[in-house]
Amino acid sequence: MIIIMKTGVERDLIDAVVDRVQELGLSANVIEGEERTIIGVVGLPLPPTLDEMFEVMPGVENVVRVTKKFKLAGWDFHPQKTTITIDDLIIGGDGITIVAGPCSVETEDQTLETARAVAAAGATVLRGGAYKPRTSPYEFRGLGERGLEILARAREETGLKIITEVMTPSDVEIVGQYTDIFQIGARNCQNYLLLEEVGKAMKPVMLKRGLSLLIEEWLLAAEYVMAQGNPDVILCERGIRTFENATRNTLDVSAVPVLQSLSHLPVFIDPSHAAGKRAFVGSLSLAGIAAGADGLMIEVHPSPDHAMSDGAQSLDFVEFAELMPRIGAVTEAVGRGSSVPSTPAI
Amino acid sequence: MIIIMKTGVERDLIDAVVDRVQELGLSANVIEGEERTIIGVVGLPLPPTLDEMFEVMPGVENVVRVTKKFKLAGWDFHPQKTTITIDDLIIGGDGITIVAGPCSVETEDQTLETARAVAAAGATVLRGGAYKPRTSPYEFRGLGERGLEILARAREETGLKIITEVMTPSDVEIVGQYTDIFQIGARNCQNYLLLEEVGKAMKPVMLKRGLSLLIEEWLLAAEYVMAQGNPDVILCERGIRTFENATRNTLDVSAVPVLQSLSHLPVFIDPSHAAGKRAFVGSLSLAGIAAGADGLMIEVHPSPDHAMSDGAQSLDFVEFAELMPRIGAVTEAVGRGSSVPSTPAI
Amino acid sequence: MIIIMKTGVERDLIDAVVDRVQELGLSANVIEGEERTIIGVVGLPLPPTLDEMFEVMPGVENVVRVTKKFKLAGWDFHPQKTTITIDDLIIGGDGITIVAGPCSVETEDQTLETARAVAAAGATVLRGGAYKPRTSPYEFRGLGERGLEILARAREETGLKIITEVMTPSDVEIVGQYTDIFQIGARNCQNYLLLEEVGKAMKPVMLKRGLSLLIEEWLLAAEYVMAQGNPDVILCERGIRTFENATRNTLDVSAVPVLQSLSHLPVFIDPSHAAGKRAFVGSLSLAGIAAGADGLMIEVHPSPDHAMSDGAQSLDFVEFAELMPRIGAVTEAVGRGSSVPSTPAI
Amino acid sequence: MIIIMKTGVERDLIDAVVDRVQELGLSANVIEGEERTIIGVVGLPLPPTLDEMFEVMPGVENVVRVTKKFKLAGWDFHPQKTTITIDDLIIGGDGITIVAGPCSVETEDQTLETARAVAAAGATVLRGGAYKPRTSPYEFRGLGERGLEILARAREETGLKIITEVMTPSDVEIVGQYTDIFQIGARNCQNYLLLEEVGKAMKPVMLKRGLSLLIEEWLLAAEYVMAQGNPDVILCERGIRTFENATRNTLDVSAVPVLQSLSHLPVFIDPSHAAGKRAFVGSLSLAGIAAGADGLMIEVHPSPDHAMSDGAQSLDFVEFAELMPRIGAVTEAVGRGSSVPSTPAI
């Protein structure tokens, strides 16, 4: 950590900071520049709020933390890329994983029909919400456990793995009885008690980025899961909130290489929530793969204009089937393959 | 609701939209402009996701919702401003309410000492976190129930009301046994199950604005609480996330008059979390009152540079005592008084 | 245009709005809903500030403009995609155009050496700043006309077209004597007098997006150029300003499909200014092409760590030469070719 | 400047950085921590792009600049607050300055009438645009020199000082023949050639903040003016662009104390452009004064709903006259007076 003193502060303020550093069992290296003095703080481990502590001392201009606050999610102690294996499905390996399905599980027919369609087109994981967070209390909130049963039936029939959202700690057990992957939604990305609960559950967790979360904060959220012993976290960029409103959110496609430079965890893109309009989902899917994402999560519905949620951004079966070979072409162009050994039967 | 068709779409696309409107039991008024056709949809109640449903229909350019999605939080069905009464304390009335105290309850001494100091300076509510959400899993997380007990002791001794954060639905009961006001933190502003749980608890709820929440979404979050039967919601603006990083967050002071134009609920300002640096807390406090806020929530700590959280933005007792008369002067300038009848013993 | 009245306004306020509409020679269609009245305004042409005029009338809740404010940049009156031809170079056609070169023209050697390297790797346009906008008045500001001469020499030797920035109306003439394409920088995207001056100059104009410009405002900026008679505008997305600071700016890759849905103008991506760090330039280049961009503008410098500006985001010759075949592979995967008929001699 | 090396980099990369520092005539202090090495760079003056230069060297994680890039605008070399005197008007002194007037000069009657009204209510400077930047090329662009003449006539009659916008370097001379204060609009805040031109003109300059300009960048823009020898710069916060759209822009009221901590220049607030709606102008005016602003700039029009620009955010004469005493009360509450000795004849 580096403490930058204000211009021309008196000697005793500098001494006070140095004393405080030493009081904490750390050591201080003082560098006197022409304009300012800076103090390098060395020693381990640094308390997490050490920077705040020094920022308020008289004469201090600024404090810069050198070490990252996340440990388990970073490369330093885990120099291999994380791959997650669920039976024959490998996430984060050489291949690309395509997750597809409806926003909400509405009926058994709708879900099974969609599962068959996305499997036929080459998806290997089925998404579908049984517990839905909705901005308004007056909207459809999901089928609950009945929805989980329907997803399980779809898995049985199609062989797809399933992913579904869990919204609150007390639901982790029931959702964990059915799902292959827990999904933590954007609004719950800093719901720390929920993160810890799925951290104890020992099934892979897909952590969607909060609407205005810094990448470093997102990795700290992943750290919450990992600190409970669960190493299998997938990060999913789904658009951030900016001033631009031509799209529902702004896909931060740069998050893919940025995350890959900071972390060994697999990175997915959700083009559907980013775009908010189905017409842009194809372009964003291809952009995500080209940027290096390990997978995509795409909303697909048998009849988007009758969907109970997110219809505007869902593809229908034909649109999804037409998009998949385009995704395949870009996947190949960036030197990657599919996440399952077998060739999908399109 | 208004449906705007694309330029030059054919008749049958317009008819399809009209048919769909009628199929839903609503009526459609078609206006043919020189360039475009627009369709006004009339009828009640409009399903909450009706706009999404029409946005995906072929030929539709855009859909504009005319009615607001929130009902209970708005003026339409509640033409008087909400005032919340807790014993002799009135929030949202003619007077201004000052909430003050430490970020976290750390020890009994620290809390009681702070309670006495802020009461002496004129605050009427004590804040203090017993359950703390922290960005990193390695930071101090609060004392839990022991913290609640300390707050209750401070109330007993000073007569201050208390407010403390609740982070998860299963904690609502225990926190409710101690607190006068539930605080929902910014990160949980869209934790809907938590909102519903405090909605059932029938004690006032202060709902802090999420980091990048639109004002309309914030009112919908309040609606979640109110829809459970709890009318006593206080909205607290605490800074939003923008590109500017000279302050921890950007205080959206305009939220005060905007909320007051849309809602009857009391509006508070938290200058401490907005500023992130104690040097700016005074200016933002005065700005908040001048803009029309019903109260302030200010972090105060006996020794900010030894605080276990948020030390950089906490005032010490002297700073707080010096700020209070300045707040008083602006309060008077905007024609408002204090929220308690008695004169504080400064 | 649609005027939405407040809930329960009295008849005479509605009448006043209708009168005002008719006073302007337009016609008003009144739709009375259960809760509100809305008024559709029909007639052409609508004055550009008509919405503001009605927003302030008593009883009016909101005004929604139906027609777009830009005309020349939109599809309505120009149903074919714009292609720009400069000798044998076609921009916006089937192929992809790669613009490359240093941020600033520093010396003749540096520029010629770079021109040869990027031409050999397959670029067809050379970028280089002779007049540089710099955030601080104490930074290098470019060589001025001497820089333009050097660019012209590089064109002569390599056959590359050249693009260079013009910063102020009075420089349009001198820059126009040398350049093939005018570049308008992000900071000047709403410098309307400059836009009009290049609009009169009748050479293609690349208009970089302002740091926080809405896509609609950007198209209106293009409209300024086009309204002077110059149809050859290229839009270049170069990252917008958001809360995230892991990258210099946030590349809004969605702008590519959004612009293509609204406008016939060619769209480029500048991955260098978006990323701000060379390690991310490759990923963003591929993402841009995959999203459908018509070209890329990439900063290349013989020795980035000795560059006088933007060294951190510039590729060296080897990095650029290695990136080009990867770009080529994605270009092919999305079914597009190169913008010049001949095969580059790598 | 501090250079932070990556974890575990080899000795020769550290040596290479140290060599480069010394090559530039600066000295390097190496601090070896448990995890990382950091290098303090000492010596003056540091080249402005030194940080970029080191950021790209192998093994470097991050570079932190310790010294501020702006000099003339900061407190270090100018420890007194700047006050600007124009005849008997003092800006930035103990008192508050109220600038008021129409967005655009439309006619002589409209301008004179407004001038009389705002003078009677206590304003001391008249605003009015003769050259207008407009988002669309099809909107009213101002009366040009005729507008300047009208402003001069209003000054003659009322004794108000005048402020008007200059949009391009070649207009500085003509505008300077009439105006008392140059206004640089938000869109031109980084139009560096314009900044330099008004820097040479030796009349006070009000520099409005660019829509998404960091405070540090804004001070660097002021530095452009000051570096030409003109010390009289007023900074005017007018709202920044954020995700929230309930107001036209988001007033960053914290900018007032932040600027005052960094700079000796006077700071104004423009509540009209920030709010975009007249109903919020009053609250934001009071908030600005309470936060410590040296003045306000408020749009006033004889008949806002007939204004040729910005009608929605303009106050009429009655609204302005009613607001002024409320501003006066808050001014007094924060211990400041009016900027002119005489009492305005209300």
* pLDDT value at A341 more than 50: no
Q: Which residue in chain B is spatially nearest to A136 when comparing CA positions?
A: B220
Distance between CA atoms of residues A209 and D328, nearest Å: 47
Task: With beta carbons under 8 A apart, name residues in chain A contacting B138.
Answer: 48, 69, 227
- Residue C274 CA to residue D192 CA, distance in Å, equals 22
Q: Which residues of C242-258 are buried (b: 16+ CB within 10 A; e: fewer)?
A: bbbebbbbbbbbbbbbb
Which of A36 and A116 is assigned the larger pLDDT?
A116
Give the whole-angstrom CA distance, residue A196 versus residue B56.
38
If you average pLDDT over each of A33-37, C7-11, D177-181, which comes out highest?
D177-181
pLDDT for the residue D343: 44
What mean pLDDT, rounded, does chain C reach? 91
Residue positions counted in chain D: 346
What is the spatial distance between Cα B204 and Cα B177, in angstroms, rounded to a whole number?
A: 13
Instruction: Give all chains having 3 or more CB-to-CB distances under 8 Å with chain C.
Output: A, B, D
Tell me phi and psi for residue B216, to 5 degrees: -65, -40
Locate the chain C residue with the closest alpha carbon to B9. C76
* Whether D122 contacts D98, CB under 8 Å: yes
8 A C-beta contact, residue A184 and residue A198: yes
Comparing C-alpha atoms, which of D75, D91, D79 is closest to residue D262?
A: D75
Q: Is A224 on the interface with B (CB under 8 A)?
A: yes
Q: Residue A135: which of B187, B217, B227 has the nearest Cβ?
A: B217
Mean pLDDT of C176-198: 96
pLDDT tens-digit map of B195-227: 999 999 989 999 999 999 999 999 999 999 999
- How far apart (Å, rounded) are the C-alpha atoms in residues B327 and B285? 7
Instruction: List the alpha helices (DSSP H) in chain D.
Output: 11-23, 50-55, 108-121, 145-158, 172-178, 192-201, 215-226, 255-262, 271-275, 281-291, 317-333
Per-residue pLDDT at B58 = 79
Read off the pLDDT band of C345 (50, 70, 90): very low
Q: How far is C247 from chain D (nearest CA, A)?
A: 13
Any CB–CB contact under 8 A between D27 and chain A? no
| Closest CB to C330 among A252, A279, A334 | A334
Q: Which residues of C, range 307-336, sit inside 8 Å of D by Cβ?
A: 307-312
pLDDT at B341: 44
Question: Measured between CB atoms, which of A245, A255, A330 is closest to C290?
Answer: A330
Token pair for B228 = 């459970």
Given this model, what pLDDT does residue B340 score? Answer: 56
Residues of D in Cβ contact (< 8 Å) with B263: none
pLDDT tens digits along C252-295: 999 999 999 999 999 999 999 999 999 999 999 999 999 999 99
Taking contacts as CB-CB distances below 8 angstroms, the residues of chain D near A40 are: 31, 33, 38, 40
pLDDT of residue B22: 87
The tally of CA atoms less than 13 A away on the side-chain side of residue B279 is 17
- The reply to whether residue D66 touches residue A29, judged by beta carbons under 8 angstroms, is no
Q: What percent of chain B has pLDDT over 70?
A: 95
The tokens 């001069």 sit on which residue?
D152
Among all chains, which residue has been given the structure tokens 């456990």? Answer: A145
Structure confidence at residue D241 (pLDDT): 97
- Pairing type for strands D37-42 and B89-91 reads unpaired
pLDDT tens-digit map of B154-200: 999 999 999 999 999 999 999 999 999 999 999 999 999 999 999 99
C-beta separation of C75 from C264 below 8 A? yes
Residue of A nearest to C330 (CA): A333
* Average of per-residue pLDDT values in chain A: 91
Cβ of A49 and B140 within 8 Å?
yes
Report pLDDT for D112.
97
Residues of B with CB below 8 A from C42's CB?
31-34
Which stretches in chain D have pLDDT values below 50? Answer: 341-346
| Confidence band, pLDDT 50/70/90 cuts, at residue B61 | confident
At B54 the pLDDT is 80
A117-171 residue pLDDT tens = 999 999 999 999 999 888 788 777 889 999 999 999 999 999 999 999 999 999 9
ipTM, two decimals, is: 0.90
Residue D31: the pLDDT is 81
pLDDT digits (tens, 9 = 90+) for B262-313: 999 999 999 999 999 999 999 999 999 999 999 999 999 998 877 877 788 9
Residue A186 scores a pLDDT above 60: yes
Using the beta-carbon criterion (under 8 Å), do C306 and D277 form an inter-chain contact? Answer: no
pLDDT at A44: 63
The model's pTM is: 0.91
| Predicted local distance difference test score (pLDDT) of residue D44 | 63
Task: Please indicate whether, in this complex, the C-beta atoms of C40 and B42 are within 8 angstroms of each other.
Answer: no
- How confident is the model over C288-313, as pLDDT tens digits? 999 999 999 999 999 887 787 778 89
Q: List the subunits that have 3+ CB pairs under 8 angstroms with A.
A: B, C, D
In this predicted model, which residue has the larger pLDDT, D46 or A40? A40
Q: Phi and psi for B263 in degrees, rounded to 5?
A: -145, 155
Long-range pairs, A335-338, Cβ under 8 A, ≥24: A336/A94, A336/A95, A336/A96, A336/A289, A337/A94, A337/A95, A337/A96, A338/A95, A338/A96, A338/A122
The torsion angle over the Cα atoms of residues D6, D11, D13 and D14, rounded to 10 degrees, is 70
Based on the number of CB atoms within 10 Å of its own CB, is C319 exposed (0-12), middle (13-18) or buried (19 or more)? middle
Q: Quick: pLDDT tens for A278-322.
A: 999 999 999 999 999 999 999 999 988 778 777 889 999 999 999
Question: Tokens in use for D40?
Answer: 């303090």
Is pLDDT above 60 for A208? yes
**Cis peptide before C204, with omega less than 30 degrees from 0?**
no
A55 in reach of chain D (CB within 8 A): no
Q: Which of B330, B326, B287, B281 is nearest to D269 (CA)?
A: B287
Neighbours of chain D (3+ CB pairs under 8 A): A, B, C
Yes or no, beta carbons of D217 and C305 under 8 Å apart: no
The model's pLDDT over C14-58, given as tens digits with 9 standing for 90+, comes to: 898 898 888 888 888 888 876 778 888 877 666 666 777 787 777
